[in-house]
């Protein structure tokens, strides 16, 4: 059953081939068996899941026609879930049980989807290897000695190991696409403002965006249909109509103009990944797409700009964790300063502290113009590069990550080496554009990803291109060896 | 970026950093600063800073009370409360 | 040495919206701790701000009232600092692009002269919660403070003046005028004792003729005109003493203690204020259209200056009376209701500025809490006008009204205070007094015209005393004169 797609699960549920309780129990059993090995879930919500499934079965019996009704999925532990611990991968929130749902969670609840559990992640979504989680590293289902990518490493591993057919995730600089690539699954980061951030614990507010992970573009489209909504509780959520993303999945690609940015195929890219991406592009060419070389000339500034903006925003966003109203509080604080410093010092891990320090520096008196303002200017230049490029092309293609999954500890104490993992994904967040990663082969027996970048609000086209690609290739059906 | 600079930042950010890690922390923060210093080479004269990806405008909410008393639910998850108040070490102005 | 004082004010005005600036929680005063703090106000993880349209409307109304440029584009920024009553660890405020630009407020001084105080700008921001430290409860005995976040997120406008104020009198006149403007606009309830208006006072002194400003201190959170006045006098004196002793002024933040009426430097060290402002990424720029601003300009309520003029014209009040009665909307409304109901503006003005104002001051309450309503007062004034009671009796009736004993008519009735105008009864009173005081009558009749009025007072006093104050004084006078001159 775990090999079924969301679309297939949905059909079987509708046709009463099995019930939601049966499907849910199956995925829970599988998760309980596999999770000790992969550590992809922080929390499995067995009891609640079965209750939700029973509820979904009632809805199905009453003729509920929602595609996701009764389908079990997993939520990244960054989305607040009413009554269920939401840790954000941090010791700071190890004891945090929110009395409210994120809008994304509420949307899936309303659609009748069943929550299996909360997935592991880099602490506060800061990381590209899932090694910064307070709950320990997640193992890549394809190569258990390697990272799954991050920050949504748990969601990616859950989907790759078929512990859930789909999962929610978030992407601030590549946190959906890079782990999707490293775990050989399909991940979509929507346009900034497409998905409500209400109840999604903030890392960098102007970059964070919720998105989906699944094993195919079709399933990603089904998940996005339920996730995307206008939400007045998030001022940055934009009131754009939400199309039916499944309706255009099979559009022909004839006439599609694909742009290949020269900056995404340069030094640092693993040659075999380059070859895999080029082979993938040939498949699309065969479907009638035309290829054009383009330039995104400010690409080299994306990582530096991001590492000013994201830390600056996070330095303020994480100030609310002060040991007063919720979360970790140090033992016997001797005064207020001690309460703040020790609660935060103990509650946050190294990477989070590093980014708070960098952000504090970038915003501090005398440095604002040189760093923050400058980064915001560069951000506009990067956006303008994309605007320019999209005058001539419909989608931009390239590699998702420069390397396949690497071994634990490989980036050691070098934060900058880790940051360069997101060299191809970060610009998309700065520009607020939708991006996808789909599997396009194996390098060293580890999956690699093809990245698709679209214009704002053009998720439907990305899903269409991805779906057509997946109809004419089978990379997305490959599963990790040894995982039946 | 030397350890005393980092200590000042850590104080501003209310982060305790132990003496035995401060050297390492300042080294890694310095490396990140070196990375972002690449920005200085960019020519940005006359470029309007971009704070948000979408060129959208704020929508304002109407002034209607929508939230009720949620004290019990929220103080149930608080580290220290008494008489409906959150407790902190004595505040000295 | 002759010293000159330079004062600039930062005034925090709580806006009278129903809900918080970024959440739908109520702003009503006096609720149980933390019962009006919702997930947003508590800065729960994942929550986001949702700005209140009414707060913008009020801020623009204020801008229009002080003739300021309105920020058609305004941007919220984060001001970062840690404090237990600041749940997010930053205050959402405005800096580079505030809602109200430069404007001015004209004040009138006691000598009748006018002075213009320039406003640098006014911005929208959120209030913080409250730290309650001096609790007698077990919280204090544990060495703890309690945090109440009901006030957190209450909308404020912070009004920042140019350093145009030169002494305490000007500062108080400005503060009162501001109070009058915001209450007239209806954008603030003006309840000083509840912290609806709080003043931060920046004070420096310099030698007269000096161009450069001296080093300034800031005294924070003064919530009464009286405190502000005292605080300025003390601080100016302190600074002059320090300077004349050859010392220097330290730039510092001071706290005024309303109990002891003294100020001291804040103990919490103000480590070089590095607030790390940056535009709040959770909020987008607010754009106001010309139409929106024009509509507000057209529908602006009457402002104190205009009202003062109207009171002089329509009610024939003196400039001073019109200024006092027109100063705040509640007083103006009270006066007008009373004057209309009693059809006598002069008497209404006298009573509002006299008995009512004295009572309010004595009990330190605002006119909206007056224990005699405008209509009740008008009822009393009507009885004076129709000579049912004398002015003197009226004061007695007023006391009873204030004490809650009922309205004027019922008190006059039950206490039998009605004025005696029956000519037979008055004649009897006069006859009795003349008969009982033959020596005084003889003296009067022998006296010349210049001395007679004073001597008449004796008889009137005796008669009024005999009537327990209820005899109609005009009638008494007439009958008495007739009889004495007969």
Encode pLDDT of B21-80 as tens digits: 999 999 999 999 999 999 999 999 999 999 999 889 999 999 999 999 999 999 999 999
DSSP state of A74: E
DSSP state of B90: -
- Angle C408-415/C391-402 helices, nearest 10 degrees? 110
Facing C284 at nearest CB: one of A236, A316, A322: A236
Residues with Cβ within 8 Å of residue C300, at least 6 apart in sequence: C61, C64, C65, C185
HSE (CB half, 13 Å, CA atoms) of C121? Answer: 14
**Residue keyed to tokens 């027996």:** A445
Facing A324 at nearest CB: one of C45, C84, C274: C84
Beta-carbon separation of C45 and A96 below 8 A: yes
Strand partners, C8: C202
- Predicted local confidence at residue C445, as pLDDT: 86
CB C47 within 8 A of CB A198: yes
Dist CA C311 CA C385 (whole Å): 21
C22: closest CA of chain B, how far (Å): 9
- Predicted local confidence at residue A72, as pLDDT: 98
- For an interface test with C, the pick among B48, B53, B91 (most C C-beta atoms closer than 10 Å) comes out as B91
Structure tokens at A108: 């899936």
Residues with Cβ within 8 Å of residue C147, at least 6 apart in sequence: A324, B85, B86, B87, B88, C84, C85, C129, C130, C131, C132
Q: DSSP 3-state assignment of A259? A: strand
Neighbours of C434 (CB within 10 A): 19
**CA-derived radius of gyration, chain C:** 29
- Predicted local confidence at residue B12, as pLDDT: 96
Q: What b/e sequence results for A269-299 when a residue is b if at least 16 CB atoms lie within 10 Å of its CB, and e otherwise? A: bbeebbebbeebbebbeeeebebeebebebb
Dist CA C48 CA A320 (whole Å): 12
Q: Taking CA C168 as the corner, what is the angle to CA C367 and CA C370, rounded to the nearest 5 degrees?
A: 5
Q: Taking CA C367 as the corner, what is the angle to CA C362 and CA C371, rounded to the nearest 5 degrees?
A: 75
Name the E strands within A79-217: 114-119, 166-171, 186-189, 209-214
Residue C107's nearest CA partner among C256, C277, C323, C402 is C323
Judging by DSSP bridges, how do beta strands C155-161 and C253-257 pair with one another?
A: unpaired
Beta-carbon separation of B50 and A362 below 8 A: no
Q: Which chains lie within 8 Å of chain C at 3 or more CB pairs, if any?
A: A, B
Residue C243 has pLDDT above 70, yes or no: yes
Residue C258 has pLDDT above 80, yes or no: no
Residue C410 has pLDDT above 70, yes or no: yes
Please report, to the nearest 10 degrees, the dihedral formed by the alpha carbons of residues C340, C344, C349, C351 taken in order: -100
CB A168 within 8 A of CB A203: no
| DSSP one-letter string for C99-121 | SB-SEEEEEE-TTS-EEEEEEEE
Domain assignments of chain C as residue spans, ordered by start = 3-294, 302-415, 423-484
User: Contacts of residue A365 in chain C, CB cutoff 8 Å?
Assistant: 272, 274, 276
Residue C273 has pLDDT above 80, yes or no: no
A356 touches chain B (CB under 8 A): yes
Dist CA A321 CA A340 (whole Å): 9
The percentage of residues in chain A with a pLDDT greater than 90, rounded to a whole number, is 96
HSE (CB half, 13 Å, CA atoms) of A293? Answer: 4
Burial class (CB in 10 A: 0-12, 13-18, 19+), C192: buried
Judging by DSSP bridges, how do beta strands C3-14 and C155-161 pair with one another?
A: antiparallel
Question: Would you place residue C320 in the very low, low, confident or very high pLDDT band (cuts 50, 70, 90)?
Answer: confident
The CATH number linked to A49 is 3.90.1300.10
The mean pLDDT of chain A is: 97
Dist CA C433 CA C353 (whole Å): 38
- For an interface test with C, the pick among A105, A121, A235 (most C C-beta atoms closer than 10 Å) comes out as A235
- Predicted local confidence at residue C269, as pLDDT: 53
Structure tokens at B35: 């990375």
Closest residue of A to C84, CA-based? A324
Give A265-293 pLDDT, tens digit per residue: 988 999 999 999 999 999 999 999 999 99
Does the complex come out with an ipTM higher than 0.85? yes
Structure tokens at A124: 């506060």
Neighbours of A10 (CB within 10 A): 22
C61: closest CA of chain B, how far (Å): 16
Structure tokens at C406: 């009922």
Residue A400's nearest CA partner among A218, A107, A250, A177 is A177
Lowest pLDDT segment from A404-418, C18-32, C174-188, C254-268: C254-268
Structure tokens at C290: 């010309």
Beta-carbon separation of B70 and C39 below 8 A: yes
Q: DSSP 3-state assignment of A437? A: strand
Neighbours of A16 (CB within 10 A): 10
- Predicted local confidence at residue C270, as pLDDT: 53
- Predicted local confidence at residue B66, as pLDDT: 98
B61: closest CA of chain C, how far (Å): 5
**Upstream peptide bond of A462 is cis (omega within 30 degrees of 0):** no
Q: DSSP 3-state assignment of A81? A: strand
Give C341-391 pLDDT, tens digit per residue: 999 999 999 999 999 999 999 998 889 899 999 999 999 999 999 888 888
B75: closest CA of chain C, how far (Å): 9
Tell me how far apart the 2 most distant CA atoms of chain A are, in Å.
Answer: 70
Dist CA B78 CA B87 (whole Å): 9
C400: closest CA of chain B, how far (Å): 41
Taking residues A51-77, report their average pLDDT: 98
Residue C291 has pLDDT above 80, yes or no: yes
CB A89 within 8 A of CB A123: yes
DSSP state of A251: -
Beta-carbon separation of B53 and A323 below 8 A: no
User: Contacts of residue A364 in chain C, CB cutoff 8 Å?
Assistant: 274, 276
Beta-carbon separation of A361 and B74 below 8 A: no
For chain B, how many residues are written?
A: 93
C10 touches chain B (CB under 8 A): no
Burial class (CB in 10 A: 0-12, 13-18, 19+), C436: exposed
Residue A210's nearest CA partner among A234, A189, A187 is A189
Taking residues A330-348, report their average pLDDT: 97
Beta-carbon separation of B52 and C132 below 8 A: no
Number of domains within chain A: 1
Helix (H) or strand (E) holding A219: helix A217-227
Say which residue, C94 or C135, is predicted with more confidence.
C94
User: Contacts of residue A335 in chain B, CB cutoff 8 Å?
Assistant: 89-90
Beta-carbon separation of A305 and B12 below 8 A: no
Dist CA C42 CA A325 (whole Å): 7
Contacts 24+ apart (CB under 8 A), C322-327: C323/C108, C324/C353, C325/C349, C325/C352, C325/C353, C327/C176, C327/C179, C327/C180
Give C15-59 pLDDT, tens digit per residue: 999 999 999 999 999 999 999 999 999 999 999 999 999 999 999
User: Contacts of residue A326 in chain C, CB cutoff 8 Å?
Assistant: 44-45
Beta-carbon separation of A370 and B40 below 8 A: yes
For chain A, how many residues are written?
A: 484
Beta-carbon separation of C46 and A198 below 8 A: yes
Q: What is the 3-state secondary structure (H, E, C) of C331-390?
A: HHHHHHHHHHHHCCHHHHHHHHHHHHHHHHHHHCCCHHHCCCCHHHHHHHHHHHHCCCCC
CB B33 within 8 A of CB A419: no
Residue C327 has pLDDT above 70, yes or no: yes
Helix (H) or strand (E) holding B69: none
Question: Would you place residue C462 in the very low, low, confident or very high pLDDT band (cuts 50, 70, 90)?
Answer: confident
- The CATH class of the B3-41 domain is mainly alpha
Residues 203-262 in A contacting B (C-alpha not used; CB under 8 Å): 206-207, 232, 235-236, 238-239
Q: Which CATH number applies to C423-484: 1.10.10.410, 1.10.3720.10, 2.40.50.140, 1.25.40.10?
A: 1.10.10.410
Burial class (CB in 10 A: 0-12, 13-18, 19+), C187: buried
Beta-carbon separation of B50 and A383 below 8 A: yes
Burial class (CB in 10 A: 0-12, 13-18, 19+), C372: buried
B56: closest CA of chain A, how far (Å): 8
Please report, to the nearest 10 degrees, the dihedral formed by the alpha carbons of residues C329, C334, C337, C340 taken in order: -100
DSSP state of C250: P
Structure tokens at A396: 């931009």
Strand partners, C5: C205
Question: Would you place residue A340 in the very low, low, confident or very high pLDDT band (cuts 50, 70, 90)?
Answer: very high
User: CA distances (Å), B77 to each of A95, A279, A329, A393, in order?
Assistant: 8, 53, 12, 51
Dist CA C35 CA B84 (whole Å): 8
**CA-derived radius of gyration, chain B:** 22
User: Contacts of residue A82 in chain B, CB cutoff 8 Å?
Assistant: none
User: Contacts of residue C148 in chain B, CB cutoff 8 Å?
Assistant: 84-85
Facing A232 at nearest CB: one of B36, B48, B59: B59
Structure tokens at A408: 């634990």
Closest residue of B to A325, CA-based? B78
Please report, to the nearest 10 degrees, the dihedral formed by the alpha carbons of residues C185, C190, C195, C197 taken in order: 50
Residue C123 has pLDDT above 60, yes or no: yes
Beta-carbon separation of B86 and C132 below 8 A: no
Facing C46 at nearest CB: one of A202, A204, A315: A202
- Predicted local confidence at residue C136, as pLDDT: 67
């Amino acid at each position: 059953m775990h090999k079924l797609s969301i679309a297939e699960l949905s059909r079987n549920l509708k046709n009463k081939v099995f019930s939601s309780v049966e499907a849910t129990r199956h995925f829970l059993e599988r998760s309980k068996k596999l999770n000790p090995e992969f550590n992809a879930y922080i929390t499995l919500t067995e009891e609640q899941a079965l209750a939700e499934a029973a509820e979904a079965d009632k809805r199905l019996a009453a003729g509920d026609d929602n595609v996701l009704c009764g389908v079990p999925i997993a939520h990244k532990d960054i989305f607040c879930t009413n009554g269920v611990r939401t840790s954000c991968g941090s010791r700071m929130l190890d004891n945090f049980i929110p009395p409210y749902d994120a809008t994304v969670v509420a949307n899936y609840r309303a659609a009748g989807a069943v929550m299996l559990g909360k997935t592991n992640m880099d602490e506060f979504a800061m990381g590209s290897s899932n090694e910064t989680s307070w709950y320990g590293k997640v193992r890549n289902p394809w190569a258990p000695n390697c990272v799954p990518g991050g920050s949504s490493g748990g969601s990616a591993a859950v989907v790759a190991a078929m512990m859930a057919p789909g999962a929610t995730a978030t992407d601030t600089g590549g946190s959906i696409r890079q782990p999707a690539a490293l775990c050989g699954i399909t991940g979509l980061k929507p346009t900034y403002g497409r998905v409500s951030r209400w109840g999604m614990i903030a890392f960098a507010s102007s970059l964070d965006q919720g998105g989906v992970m699944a094993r195919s573009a079709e399933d990603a489209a089904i998940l996005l249909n339920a996730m995307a909504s206008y939400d007045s509780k998030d001022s940055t959520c934009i009131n754009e109509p939400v199309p039916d993303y499944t309706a255009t999945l099979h559009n022909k690609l004839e006439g599609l103009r694909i742009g290949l940015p020269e900056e995404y195929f340069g030094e640092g890219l693993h040659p075999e990944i380059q070859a895999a991406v080029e082979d993938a592009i040939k498949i699309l060419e065969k479907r009638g797409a035309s290829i054009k070389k383009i330039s995104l000339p400010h690409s080299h500034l994306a990582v530096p700009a991001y590492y000013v903006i994201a830390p600056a925003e996070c330095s303020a966003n994480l100030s609310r964790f002060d040991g007063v109203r919720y979360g970790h509080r140090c033992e016997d604080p001797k005064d207020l300063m001690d309460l703040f410093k020790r609660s935060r010092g103990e509650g946050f891990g190294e990477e989070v502290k590093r980014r708070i320090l960098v952000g504090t520096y970038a915003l501090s008196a005398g440095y604002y113009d040189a760093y923050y303002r400058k980064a915001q200017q560069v951000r506009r230049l990067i956006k303008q590069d994309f605007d320019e490029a999209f005058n001539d092309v419909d989608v931009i293609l390239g590699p998702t990550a420069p390397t396949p999954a690497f071994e634990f500890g490989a980036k050691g104490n070098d934060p900058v080496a880790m940051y360069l993992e997101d060299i191809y994904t970060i610009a998309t967040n700065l520009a607020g554009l939708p991006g996808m990663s789909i599997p396009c082969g194996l390098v060293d027996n580890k999956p690699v990803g093809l990245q698709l970048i679209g214009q704002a609000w053009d998720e439907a086209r990305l899903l269409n291109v991805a779906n057509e690609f997946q109809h004419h290739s089978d990379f997305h059906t490959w599963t990790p060896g040894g995982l039946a | 970026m030397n350890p005393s600079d980092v200590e000042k930042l850590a104080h501003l950010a209310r982060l305790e950093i132990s003496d035995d890690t401060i050297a390492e922390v300042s080294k890694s923060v310095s490396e990140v600063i070196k990375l972002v210093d690449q920005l200085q080479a960019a020519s940005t004269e006359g470029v309007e800073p971009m704070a948000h990806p979408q060129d959208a405008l704020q929508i304002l909410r109407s002034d209607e009370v929508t939230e009720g008393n949620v004290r019990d639910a929220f103080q149930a998850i608080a580290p220290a409360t008494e008489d409906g108040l959150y407790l902190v070490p004595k505040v000295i102005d | 040495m002759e010293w000159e004082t330079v004062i600039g004010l930062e005034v925090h005005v709580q806006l009278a919206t129903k809900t918080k600036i970024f959440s739908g929680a109520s702003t009503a005063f006096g609720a149980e701790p933390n019962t009006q703090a919702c997930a947003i106000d508590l800065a729960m993880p994942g929550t986001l701000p949702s700005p209140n349209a009414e707060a913008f409307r009020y801020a623009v109304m204020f801008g229009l009232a002080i003739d300021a440029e309105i920020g058609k584009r305004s941007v919220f920024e984060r001001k970062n600092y840690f404090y237990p009553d600041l749940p997010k660890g930053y205050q959402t405020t405005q800096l580079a692009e505030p809602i109200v630009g430069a404007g001015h407020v004209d004040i009138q001084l006691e000598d009748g002269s006018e002075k213009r105080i320039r406003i640098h700008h006014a911005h929208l921001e959120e209030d913080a919660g409250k730290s309650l430290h001096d609790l007698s409860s077990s919280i204090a005995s544990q060495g703890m403070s309690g945090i109440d976040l009901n006030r957190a997120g209450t909308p404020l406008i912070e009004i920042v003046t140019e350093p145009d104020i030169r002494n305490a009198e000007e500062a108080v006149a400005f503060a009162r005028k501001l109070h009058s403007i915001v209450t007239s606009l209806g954008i603030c309830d003006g309840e000083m004792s509840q912290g609806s208006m709080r003043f931060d006072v920046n004070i420096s002194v310099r030698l007269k003729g000096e161009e450069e400003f001296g080093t300034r201190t800031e005294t924070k959170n003064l919530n009464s005109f009286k405190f502000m006045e005292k605080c300025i006098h003390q601080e100016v004196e302190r600074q002059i003493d320090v300077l004349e002793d050859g010392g220097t002024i330290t730039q510092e933040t001071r706290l005024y203690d309303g109990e002891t009426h003294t100020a001291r430097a804040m103990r919490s060290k103000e480590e070089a204020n590095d607030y790390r402002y940056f535009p709040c990424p959770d909020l987008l720029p607010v754009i106001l259209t010309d139409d929106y601003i024009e509509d507000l300009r057209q529908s602006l309520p009457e402002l104190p200056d205009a009202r003062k003029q109207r009171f002089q014209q329509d009610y024939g009040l003196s400039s001073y009376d019109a200024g006092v009665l027109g100063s705040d909307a509640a007083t103006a409304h009270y006066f007008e209701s009373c004057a209309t109901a009693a059809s006598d503006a002069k008497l209404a003005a006298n009573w509002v500025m006299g008995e009512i104002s004295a009572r309010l001051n004595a009990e330190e309450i605002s006119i909206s809490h007056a224990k005699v309503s405008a209509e009740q007062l008008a009822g009393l004034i009507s009885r004076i006008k129709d000579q049912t009671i004398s002015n003197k009796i009226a004061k007695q009736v007023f006391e009873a009204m204030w004490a809650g004993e009922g309205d004027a008519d019922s008190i006059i009735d039950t206490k039998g205070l009605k004025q005696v105008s029956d000519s037979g009864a008055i004649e009897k009173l006069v006859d009795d007094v003349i008969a009982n005081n033959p020596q005084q009558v003889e003296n009067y009749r022998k006296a010349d015209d210049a001395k007679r009025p004073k001597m008449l007072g004796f008889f009137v006093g005796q008669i009024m005393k005999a009537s327990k104050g209820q005899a109609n004084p005009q009638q008494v006078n007439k009958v008495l004169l007739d009889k004495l001159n007969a």
